[in-house]
Chains A and B, each alone.
Chain A
Amino acid sequence: NAGVTQTPKFQVLKTGQSMTLQCAQDMNHNSMYWYRQDPGMGLRLIYYSASEGTTDKGEVPNGYNVSRLNKREFSLRLESAAPSQTSVYFCASSEDSWFNSPLHFGNGTRLTVT
C-alpha cells in the first residue's frame, strides 16, 4: 500500500520556468491538499480539493494552480516560478474534509528556484 505518492522528489528550476508537481493516493480518500513548508513558517495550505471536481484556495495560493484530475490524482502547477517558491511541497489526503479525518502526507518535493 503506497499511500500518497509525490513526484518528483527534487527539482531545480530557473526563474520563469514552469513545472507540475504530481500527487496520487491509493487510499480512496475524497479530500486532497497541497502544502508548502518553509523554515520558521510551518506548513501552509496552498490549495485543497474537498472532493473530486472541486478545488479551493488555501492560505497561500498566489502563483499556483491545481487540477483534481480524478479521485486519485491532484496536481500542483507553477506557471512562472519565482525564488520565493523555493520550498518543500507536501501533498496530503484525508478520508473526507470533515474535522475528524487526519491528513496523510506524501514524501515531499524539494523545489529550488534560482
Chain B
Amino acid sequence: QKEVEQNSGPLSVPEGAIASLNCTYSDRVSQSFFWYRQYSGKSPELIMSIYSNGDKEDGRFTAQLNKASQYVSLLIRDSQPSDSATYLCAVVTGNQFYFGTGTSLTVIP
C-alpha cells in the first residue's frame, strides 16, 4: 500500500504571509510529484509539478522535493484569501497516482 501523508490542518495564515504545506510519501521509487488545489465543492486543479530534487518556482508558488527524505512541500508566498482551499499532494509510482487526504488552508484577511 503506497502512502501519502499530509497534515489535514486546518492551516490558517494571515493575508500576505507564507503558507507552507507538507507531504511525505512511503515509496522510495516514486517518480513524480504534483500539487493540486481543490476549492470546496469543486474538482482538483493542477498547481505545480516537480520531478527532481530541489526547488521549482512558478509565480507565488514554490514546490520543494527531497527524495532522500521522501518529502515534498509547497510554499505559497504573499498568501491571498483566494488561496483558501484544500491542497492535495499526489505522488506517482509506476503509472499510478496516489493522493494524500489534503491540507485545508485558510488565509485570513
Residues of A participating in the B interface, judged by any CB pair closer than 8 Å: 31, 33, 40-45, 50, 58, 90, 97-100, 102-108
Contact = CB atoms under 8 A, between A and B. Distances in A.
Given A90-B43, A102-B34, A42 B97 contact: no
B32 interface: yes
**Secondary structure type dominating chain A contacts:** loop
B95 A43 contact: no
Contacts of B44: 43, 90, 103, 105
Contacts of B4: 42
Contacts of B51: 100
Contacts of A102: 34, 46, 49
Interface stretch (B54-62, B77-85, B99-107): B99-107
A104 B44 CA distance: 8
B34 to A, nearest CB: 6
Q: Which of A31, A97, A100, A102 has the most CB of B within 10 A?
A: A102
A58 B51 CA distance: 23
B31 interface: yes
B101 A40 contact: yes
B101 A42 contact: yes
B43 A108 contact: yes
Given A97-B95, A99-B94, A100-B51, A106 B43 contact: yes
A91 B25 CA distance: 24
Given A42-B102, A43-B99, A103 B90 contact: yes
A41 B92 contact: no
B74 interface: no
Contacts of A103: 34, 44, 46, 90, 97
